[in-house]
A and B are shown apart, each in its own frame.
Chain A
């Protein structure tokens, strides 16, 4: 009884107290904008009106308009500078892929020994995009493989309880730096050997980026099957990648008219290709062995 009366008293007290200042469970945005100053502007044509009404301060309005014009100008400047350094159309060529191409290319990277025709196809002296030509290099697979490698490195380190966010960033930048150095070395070698090929920087970046697929497979096998599985997968992916690189670079560097050039240039080019191929297993081992200890 006392309990009930106490409860009743509490209830009445609560009720009288509740009316003025009970906190709303959700913001009521149906009618008044002035109730919640930062709140949701009405959709449609009322936005400008509501913005004016919200801030109610012409200086702030001008500042917002100025800021948005500055932002659009900045965007234009960024676009212009980007177009000066990176030809976006050439970059788009490398990302024109589809699912069938990606699947076949991944299969080719793992088992290139039965592929017969390695020449790239051209239509009126313009190389066909990767969608139509299996032998064309692309940048989609290397990019995705790099991101997957970074995530996988984080997972592997987490399994070994050695994870921290700095290590992840370090892993990512290390892998990226090695690829850049390899591309620079290849560019230097191609320049010194005066090979007249249509291998642009992006082609070399693509061919260097294919090693990430081998790294991912080695790390996954190492995580699933232990150290022995890691070495087996390392040997298999290294040899497949070496074969792939040698065949691709030999036909790609020769170009569409397959001139060949004088003898020393040819030999240098061969050494360059073999050197690039021999470098792959080393770098795959270097970048992954600390993950499968």
Chain B
């Protein structure tokens, strides 16, 4: 497996796209990973599941706009340069 930095960027872009595509209402709530089902109060340490849900929610919120830009740029570049 020979990696170039470009393949790392491509893999990262695809992973972030995959996280961004998870729909809040149709999918995450049905498997119990919705963001309003996770916050367990301020007392104890949050478990792995709530940490993961927080991570997914924050990635989706933060990366929504940059993903649009980066995806468009990637599509144009791939169309032009193959």
Q: Which residues of A contact B (CB under 8 A)?
A: 170, 173-174, 176-178, 180-181, 191-194, 261-262, 264-265, 268, 286
Contact in complex: B45, A262 (CB < 8 Å):
yes
Contact in complex: B1, A192 (CB < 8 Å):
no
B4 beta carbon closer than 8 Å to chain A: yes
How many residues of B are in contact with the other chain, CB < 8 A? 15
Contact in complex: B48, A191 (CB < 8 Å):
no
- Given A178-B3, A264-B45, list of 20 further CB < 8 A pairs? A173-B3, A173-B5, A174-B1, A174-B2, A174-B4, A177-B3, A177-B4, A177-B7, A177-B8, A180-B8, A181-B8, A191-B51, A191-B55, A192-B48, A192-B52, A193-B48, A262-B45, A264-B47, A268-B48, A286-B1
Partner of A194, one of B3, B5, B8, B45: B45
- A193 CB contacts on chain B under 8 angstroms: 48
**In the bound complex, how far is the Cα of B2 from the Cα of A124, in angstroms?**
46
**In the bound complex, how far is the Cα of B51 from the Cα of A174, in angstroms?**
31
**In the bound complex, how far is the Cα of B2 from the Cα of A194, in angstroms?**
33
- B32 CB contacts on chain A under 8 angstroms: none
Cβ contacts A to B, 13 pairs, < 8 Å: A170-B2, A173-B3, A174-B2, A174-B3, A176-B5, A177-B5, A177-B7, A177-B8, A192-B52, A192-B55, A194-B45, A261-B45, A262-B44
Rounded to whole Å, the gap between the CB of B48 and the closest CB of chain A is 5
Chain A interface helix/strand/loop/mixed: helix
Q: Which residues of B contact A (CB under 8 A)?
A: 1-5, 7-8, 44-48, 51-52, 55
- B47 CB contacts on chain A under 8 angstroms: 264
Number of A-B contacts (CB under 8 A): 36
Given contacts A194-B45, A194-B46, A262-B45, contact A170 B4 (CB under 8 A): yes
Closest A residue to B3 using CB positions: A177
Rounded to whole Å, the gap between the CB of B47 and the closest CB of chain A is 7
Contact in complex: A173, B4 (CB < 8 Å):
yes
- A191 CB contacts on chain B under 8 angstroms: 51, 55
Contact in complex: B3, A265 (CB < 8 Å):
no
Chain A to chain B: the 10 pairs with minimum beta-carbon distance, closest first: A177-B3, A174-B3, A177-B8, A170-B2, A192-B51, A192-B48, A173-B4, A173-B5, A174-B2, A262-B45
- A174 CB contacts on chain B under 8 angstroms: 1-4
**In the bound complex, how far is the Cα of B4 from the Cα of A228, in angstroms?**
31
**In the bound complex, how far is the Cα of B5 from the Cα of A174, in angstroms?**
8
Rounded to whole Å, the gap between the CB of B66 and the closest CB of chain A is 16
- B51 CB contacts on chain A under 8 angstroms: 191-192, 194
Rounded to whole Å, the gap between the CB of A31 and the closest CB of chain B is 53
**In the bound complex, how far is the Cα of B4 from the Cα of A173, in angstroms?**
5
Closest A residue to B7 using CB positions: A177
- B1 CB contacts on chain A under 8 angstroms: 174, 286
**In the bound complex, how far is the Cα of B46 from the Cα of A268, in angstroms?**
13
